[in-house]
Structure 1
Amino acid sequence: MQQSVDSPAGDPAPVPMPARGGRRRLSRRLLLITMLAVMLAEVLIFVPSIANFREGWLEAKLETAAVAGLASQGSEAEGDATLEADQGTGLLVALDAMLVAIIEGGASRLIARAETIDVADLQVDLADRNPVTMIVGAFDTLLLGGDRTMRISGPVGDGSLVAEVVMSERPLRRDMLIYSRNILFLSLAIASFAALLVYAAISFYLVRPIQAMTGAMIRFGENPADPGRIIQPSGRGDEIGTAEAQLADMQARLAGTLREQRHLADLGLAVAKINHDLRNILASAQMVSDRLADVPDPRVQRVVPPLVRSLDRALAYTQSVLSYGRAIESPPAKRAVRLARLVDDVFEVVAPPEGVPIELVNAVPEALEIAVDPDQFHRVLVNLCRNAVQALEGDAADLPSLVRRVTVDARPEPPDEVLISIEDTGPGLPARARDNLFKAFQGSARTGGTGLGLAIVAEIVQAHGGRIALAERPLPGTRFEIRMPGRVADGEAGPSRAG
């Protein structure tokens, strides 16, 4: 099956789900890996084991020869006597040898001898042995032996007696192959038993919980909006329990994010409908303002230009609402702008009603010029100044001595920046608004506010390559500082103009 998720472009993109039949492949792999690991350990054990088997087999031959030699000491031919013919033949058959002799006290004594003796192809001296020669000799016999004749010699007992045997290598190789076969069967049995135990433990403690988490993720992916599909942690105290808890937390946060996105999508649709009707209303108001421009009354002529500019900006704002909803803000068309005059224009828009004692102070030097998009930066200042005015209007204290002032100031910052500050003497931002500044629908300081204003401000400032921050200050009130690049010109600070 496939699950559709939204791609960055907004189109559904199919996401392949893992085949359910492949869920147990991990278990099978773990079983095979465990068996191979045990078999590898058995191989490491087999190497010294087969070498010891070969050495023990050869020592047994020499010990038998020594016992036969000691038994023949009572023969008539002292020092060079051999066993009787039938006894010698029996000893050679028992040892599967061609010649048996012992060396005692520096004298060599023949015990038994076949009629014909092959030339020895391999000399094996058990007196001169170490782990490396033992292992090399064992694998030499296994891989290359079979048709060679060996001459075996070595001390027996306390070392005062040395036995010597000449025999074919075929019996040794045959017994070593039988021993290797038995070790192989035993290793397979041990590996299977150990692998099953390890598999059962891993399956119970690891594979099954992982399969449960995988199933929970698949179920959650089919319908992330359903809170009942969020995995329930088992409460284990190990890494699996931590993974379950983290997965549950991630799914819960993802479900919450999806709910918020759905709400935002519904809000965007509502805004689009309101935007459509609002544009029609503003267009009608614009037509009325055009008629007012023909009225010869001086007061009307003084009011109409700001009204026309405000209606034009309002129409532009309605068009930009959908752009913000698509997270696409048009690139700024930067021009050289006299900041002081732009602030004057902003003060005309955000001026409080008559009778509200709020002072608007434009402290920007008259000659200071910056490179910004006039319309977009007008929106920045309008949003910040309007928030400041609304904070002062909502101040419950009604005292004549209370200072209610909004100040916009700017000064050059080396090497090529302008620091713009918007400051008010209001009660300041609450903690919740400080924690969510510049976040849409979260950073509002007023009841019923959306927080879109500061989000739009931050987006426009960043698009200009600037930075905005809330300045920390010991006095009451709020101060936003904007650092903008691209200063064009500046002059000495002139007198403040109060609105």
Structure 2
Amino acid sequence: MRLKTVMPETRENSRSVDDLGEGEPRSRFGLSAKLLILTVIFVMLSEVLIFVPSIANFRNNWLSDRLRTAAVAAAVLAESDVISPALQTRLLAATGASAIALNDGPARRLIAMNAMPPMVDEIVDMNTMDATTAILQSFGTLIYGEHRTLRAIGRAEMGMSGNIEIVMPEAPLRAAMLGFSWRILLLSLVISMVTASLVYVSLRWLFVRPLQRLSANMARFGEAPQDASRIIEPSGRADEIGDAEKRLATMQTTLGQTLHQQRRLADLGLAVSKINHDLRNLLASAQLFLERLESSPDPLAARLAPKIVSTLDRAVGYTRAVLSYGRAQEVPPARRLVHLSHIADDVAQVLGLPESDTITWENRVDPDMEVDADPEQLFRVLMNICRNAVQALKGEDDPAVVRRLAVEAERHGSLVTIRIKDTGPGVPTAVRPNLFQAFRASARPGGTGLGLAIASELVRAHGGEIVLEDVSIGASFRITLPDRPLDLARPRVAQGGVGSSMRQNEGKSAERADGPALN
């Protein structure tokens, strides 16, 4: 019963996730709807900005027409001393005024009037009208003009001088302005809808649909990043959307390759752990056999047995490191003062270089050269680099080719520089950018590139660096190892260790340097 209760919710949740993966909007209003609403709002704001001067211009034109009609009638009737009531009524009806007068300087003549006009609430002088005044008076008419009386003044026409004045209720003007406003509003809505529709269709075609395609592809790719068929195919657009598609395709390709590589590494790690477990058991058995070999009276066995035991100890230590890989990084270096020349000789012994008939081994390190480093880790660094050099040198079959491997070192203050040089074919240019990255840089078929990656990690743990020098013959790796910094808070005599040894080395170097001069 409990399982039946949970399963429908799980299906519903999975459907909601899938629906979102298809590019549908997460909110109630998607990007398209927001674009449509914003377009309508902006167009309406533009129409409002147009409406303000338009309504003022409409009011001015309406009053000017009434004043013009009154001016024409006044010009015709100016010569008559008496105007009949019927003609006055027709003239007032044509202008919508309750009184018409002609003002010519000191003379003022009443042209028509149907009754005593009410008190004037607003005076509009069209002769001095400006834009600001027209806009303010227009909104005053719309708000307060229903019950007000207006007195309009305009210039007389038809060859007459002076001004024509009319007194009229403001309600007809307000009604006309409201009708004009409604027509403007309806026209604005039509323009807004048409413009918004065109903008909506254009933006949806240009932006929204490509963005939905990108979103849907990202959701689909996220379900199976290792599937190369789910990588987006750029549409070829030459704009920002096309650039985003190309960058997304590149990112998905890189991510897919990285995940594929990580899976391979995980599988490889599991296989190595299984093999390493059995190998450690075999090495333990070999150590037991060597213990019996050490008691043998054969002098050769007695001489070689300790070296074989030392090599097996290193191998056992490496197996432990392999089994712990992934749970922790390399063990921090246990730094000691070591003779670099002895470590180089140990590497040569393990690689069989002293007995080799094809490769010349040269240990150019000063026997008194001391390095502040972890002896085992420094051995691994030299071992990995020298092994690669030996493999490259053995790849040459021509007996006339010089095969030489040399190790040299020099000290500058607290910095030791080690160089490992060979006369092999050198490092190919194609693998140099990823030379110290595991599984990405191997010049030898079937190689993994782990040797240089491990060497680089161990050197960095000592605070140094390893680089491939640009040489014309063979390959030359330069390793720089700094001494440990001195603790200035402690007494200099009590520190001993590196500082005192370094002073001793400097004294020895000075004695060697001064010796010939004294002789």
Structure 1 distance, partners of 2:294, 2:363, is 29
Q: Answer yes or no: is the 8 Å Cα contact 1:275–1:318 preserved in 2.
A: yes
The C-alpha deviation readout for 1:263-289, integer Å capped at 9, x for no partner, is: 222222211111111111111112222
Structure 2 distance, partners of 1:413, 1:161, is 109
Q: Structure 1: where are the runs of 5+ without partners?
A: 3-13, 78-82
Q: Which has the higher strand share?
A: 1
Q: 1:22 aligns with which of 8, 20, 25?
A: 25
Partner SS, residue 337 of structure 2 = strand
- Decide whether aligned partners of structure 1 residues 427 and 182 sit closer, same or farther in structure 2, where only a CA change above 3 A counts: same
Matched with 1:411 is 410
Structure 1 distance, partners of 2:260, 2:194, is 52
- Decide whether aligned partners of structure 1 residues 196 and 17 sit closer, same or farther in structure 2, where only a CA change above 3 A counts: closer
Q: Answer yes or no: is the 8 Å Cα contact 2:22–2:216 preserved in 1.
A: no
Partner SS, residue 111 of structure 2 = strand
CA shift, 1:68, in A, is 2.5
Structure 1 distance, partners of 2:114, 2:149, is 14
Matched with 1:67 is 72
1:199 aligns with 2:200: yes
Partner SS, residue 97 of structure 1 = coil
CA shift, 1:381, in A, is 1.1
CA shift, 1:94, in A, is 4.2
Partner SS, residue 25 of structure 2 = helix
1:39 aligns with 2:36: no
Structure 2 distance, partners of 1:174, 1:151, is 17
Q: Structure 2: where are the runs of 5+ without partners?
A: 1-9, 12-16, 485-497, 514-519
1:445 aligns with 2:421: no
CA shift, 1:133, in A, is 2.5
Aligned length: 475
Structure 2 distance, partners of 1:137, 1:34, is 31
Q: Answer yes or no: is the 8 Å Cα contact 2:335–2:373 preserved in 1.
A: yes
- Decide whether aligned partners of structure 1 residues 152 and 479 sit closer, same or farther in structure 2, where only a CA change above 3 A counts: same
CA shift, 1:169, in A, is 2.9
CA shift, 1:426, in A, is 1.7
Matched with 1:460 is 458
The C-alpha deviation readout for 1:385-423, integer Å capped at 9, x for no partner, is: 111222222222213xx4332222222245x42222111
- Decide whether aligned partners of structure 1 residues 92 and 41 sit closer, same or farther in structure 2, where only a CA change above 3 A counts: same
- Decide whether aligned partners of structure 1 residues 341 and 139 sit closer, same or farther in structure 2, where only a CA change above 3 A counts: farther
CA shift, 1:471, in A, is 0.3
AA at the equivalent of 2:25: G
Structure 2 distance, partners of 1:114, 1:364, is 128
Structure 1 distance, partners of 2:66, 2:334, is 103
Partner SS, residue 225 of structure 1 = coil
Q: Answer yes or no: is the 8 Å Cα contact 1:439–1:454 preserved in 2.
A: yes
Compare 63-72 and 226-235 and name the one that shifted more.
226-235
Q: Answer yes or no: is the 8 Å Cα contact 1:66–1:161 preserved in 2.
A: no
Structure 2 distance, partners of 1:286, 1:134, is 110
Q: 2:427 aligns with which of 426, 429, 433?
A: 429
Partner SS, residue 480 of structure 1 = strand
CA shift, 1:117, in A, is 3.3
The C-alpha deviation readout for 1:357-396, integer Å capped at 9, x for no partner, is: 4233222334433332322222111101111222222222
The C-alpha deviation readout for 1:160-198, integer Å capped at 9, x for no partner, is: 442222333333222222211111111111111111122
Partner SS, residue 30 of structure 2 = helix
Compare 253-262 and 58-67 and name the one that shifted more.
253-262
Structure 2 distance, partners of 1:76, 1:397, is 138
Alignment of 1:85-234 (within 5 A): 85-104=85-104, 107-113=107-113, 115-157=115-157, 160-234=161-235
CA shift, 1:125, in A, is 1.7
Matched with 2:57 is 52
CA shift, 1:225, in A, is 2.3
The C-alpha deviation readout for 1:276-319, integer Å capped at 9, x for no partner, is: 11111111112222333334544333322322221121112122
* TM-score, normalised via structure 2 length: 0.82
1:384 aligns with 2:381: no
CA shift, 1:323, in A, is 4.5
Q: Answer yes or no: is the 8 Å Cα contact 1:152–1:164 preserved in 2.
A: yes
Structure 1 distance, partners of 2:22, 2:445, is 51
AA at the equivalent of 1:186: L
- Decide whether aligned partners of structure 1 residues 95 and 330 sit closer, same or farther in structure 2, where only a CA change above 3 A counts: farther
Alignment of 1:476-495 (within 5 A): 476-486=473-483, 488=498, 489=502, 490-491=505-506, 492=509
Structure 2 distance, partners of 1:19, 1:477, is 57
AA at the equivalent of 2:217: A
Matched with 1:5 is none
Structure 2 distance, partners of 1:417, 1:102, is 111
CA shift, 1:201, in A, is 2.1
Partner SS, residue 418 of structure 1 = strand
Q: Answer yes or no: is the 8 Å Cα contact 2:24–2:212 preserved in 1.
A: no
Q: Answer yes or no: is the 8 Å Cα contact 1:356–1:393 preserved in 2.
A: no
Matched with 2:244 is 243
Compare 26-35 and 315-324 and name the one that shifted more.
315-324
- Decide whether aligned partners of structure 1 residues 357 and 182 sit closer, same or farther in structure 2, where only a CA change above 3 A counts: same
Matched with 2:311 is 310
Compare 274-283 and 168-177 and name the one that shifted more.
168-177
Q: Answer yes or no: is the 8 Å Cα contact 2:468–2:478 preserved in 1.
A: yes
Q: Answer yes or no: is the 8 Å Cα contact 2:21–2:215 preserved in 1.
A: no
AA at the equivalent of 2:277: H
Structure 2 distance, partners of 1:309, 1:156, is 125
Partner SS, residue 74 of structure 1 = coil
User: Percent identical across equivalent pairs?
Assistant: 49
